[in-house]
Amino acid sequence: MLNISNLAKTYLPAKKEALKNVTLDIEKGEFTALLGQNGAGKTTLINILAGNVLKTEGVVTIGGYNLDTHALETKRIIVIVPQETGYDSTFPVYETLKKQSGYFGIRNNGATIDELLEALYLKEKRNSNIRELSGGMKKRFLIAKALVHRPKILVLDEPTAGVDIEMRHTLYDFLCKLHQAGTTIILTTHYIEEAEKLCDRVVIIDSGKIIADEPKTRLIESFSREVTVEFQFDSELDIADMAFLNTYNPQIEEKIKLQLRVLKKDLSKVLQMISRRNMEFIDLAIEKPKLEDIYLSLIHR
C-alpha cells in the first residue's frame, strides 16, 4: 500500500540530513505507530508523503502510484491530518465538508458527512462556523475533512495533543472502528501508551534513520526477558533485611512493597528464596516492560 525505498532529505544550505536512507513498507490494513523525538525526521517524512516537501533521493510509491509522476492520484489514496489546528474559515462545518467532497468529484455525499459528524461528536456543530470551534473540535473536524472521500491511508500527526482525556478515548474508539473497516493508519504521537493501545506495528525513527521496525507484540516480547516483580506485605520492611536479594536490585516502596528486577527464568528461584525466609506476602504482581520503557531504551542506546 505504501512503499518507501532509500528515502533521503537534506535541507540546504545548512546541509542538514533530516532523513537518511529510509526504507519502509506499510501493508494494507496495518495500524502503524511512527515514533521519535522532536527533530527525528517524522515531520519531514510526513510532509514528503503529503507532497509539501521534495525529497532529495529515493522512491515513494502510494497505492501503486509513484509520488513523483502521479501526485494527484496519490492524494486520493493518502491523506494527512496535521498536528496544527490553525484551519481558519467562516464557512459552516457541514458546508466545508460538502465542498471538500466536491474537490474529489463526489456529489451527494451527505450520508458520509452525517456519519462522520455523528462518529466524531460534531453533529450539533454542523451549522457552526469553523472559527467558532474549540481546539479539540477543530482536530475532530480535520479528521472528518480528511475522510470525506474515504481515503485508503490515513496519516495522523499527534491527533490527541491538547485533547481532554474523555475525548481522547472517544477518538481511540473511532480509530479502532476505522481500522477494523480496513483503513490503513499511520499514527505519530508522543503518548507512547497511545501507540501501545492502538497500533499493531511500531516504527521508531531517530536522527533520520529507522532504528526499530517490528510488530508491537514481538518488539515487547524481545525486551521481556526481565520483568518487575512486586511483593506486598502486611508489615513494614527494612532494606537491610533484603541483602539476600541484592542480585535483583531490591527497592522498597510505600514501606510494605518490595520491588525486584528478575529474569523470567529466575522467577521460581526468587519465590523459593523468599519462602525459605518465611516472608509471607499478601499480594504479588509481575509486570513486563511497557512500550515506553522499550522506546526510551532504544533512543538512549
Domains in the chain, please, with CATH?
Answer: 2-221 (3.40.50.300), 223-290 (3.30.70.980)
- Over 90: is that where the pLDDT of 82 sits? no
Mean pLDDT along residues 130-156: 90
- pLDDT at site 299: 86
Mean pLDDT along residues 100-129: 91
- In the chain, the percentage of residues whose pLDDT exceeds 90 is 69
Distance CA 123, CA 91 (A): 16
- pLDDT at site 226: 85
- Over 90: is that where the pLDDT of 242 sits? yes
Average pLDDT, the chain: 91
Mean pLDDT along residues 284-291: 89
The answer to whether 115 and 178 are in contact (CB under 8 A) is: no
pLDDT band of residue 223 (cuts 50, 70, 90) is: confident
> Residue 229's closest CA among 277, 295, 283?
283
Degrees to nearest 5, angle at CA 106 with 103 and 108:
125
Mean pLDDT along residues 82-107: 84
> Residue 114's closest CA among 90, 144, 83, 76?
144
What are the backbone dihedrals phi and psi of residue 216, each rounded to the nearest 5 degrees, phi first? -55, -45
- Over 70: is that where the pLDDT of 88 sits? no
10 Å CB burial of residue 55 (0-12, 13-18, 19+) is buried
- pLDDT at site 83: 79
Instruction: Give the list of residues 6+ apart from residue 132 with CB closer than 8 angstroms, or none.
Output: 125
- pLDDT at site 166: 86
Mean pLDDT along residues 186-213: 93
pLDDT digits (tens, 9 = 90+) for 37-75: 988 999 999 999 998 899 999 999 999 999 999 998 999
Helix count (H) and strand count (E) of the chain? 10, 14
> Residue 113's closest CA among 87, 147, 80, 89?
147
pTM tops 0.85? no
- In the chain, the percentage of residues whose pLDDT exceeds 70 is 98
The answer to whether 68 and 48 are in contact (CB under 8 A) is: no
The answer to whether 130 and 87 are in contact (CB under 8 A) is: yes
pLDDT band of residue 276 (cuts 50, 70, 90) is: very high
Distance CA 62, CA 220 (A): 29
Degrees to nearest 5, angle at CA 233 with 229 and 237:
95
Mean pLDDT along residues 280-286: 93
- pLDDT at site 21: 93
Mean pLDDT along residues 117-132: 90
157 membership: H or E segment, kind and range: strand 153-157
pLDDT band of residue 190 (cuts 50, 70, 90) is: confident
Sheet of 57-62, strands arranged across: 16-26, 2-11, 57-62, 65-66
- Over 80: is that where the pLDDT of 89 sits? no
- pLDDT at site 164: 82
- pLDDT at site 85: 65
- Over 80: is that where the pLDDT of 90 sits? no
Distance CA 190, CA 244 (A): 40
> Residue 263's closest CA among 227, 289, 222, 229?
227
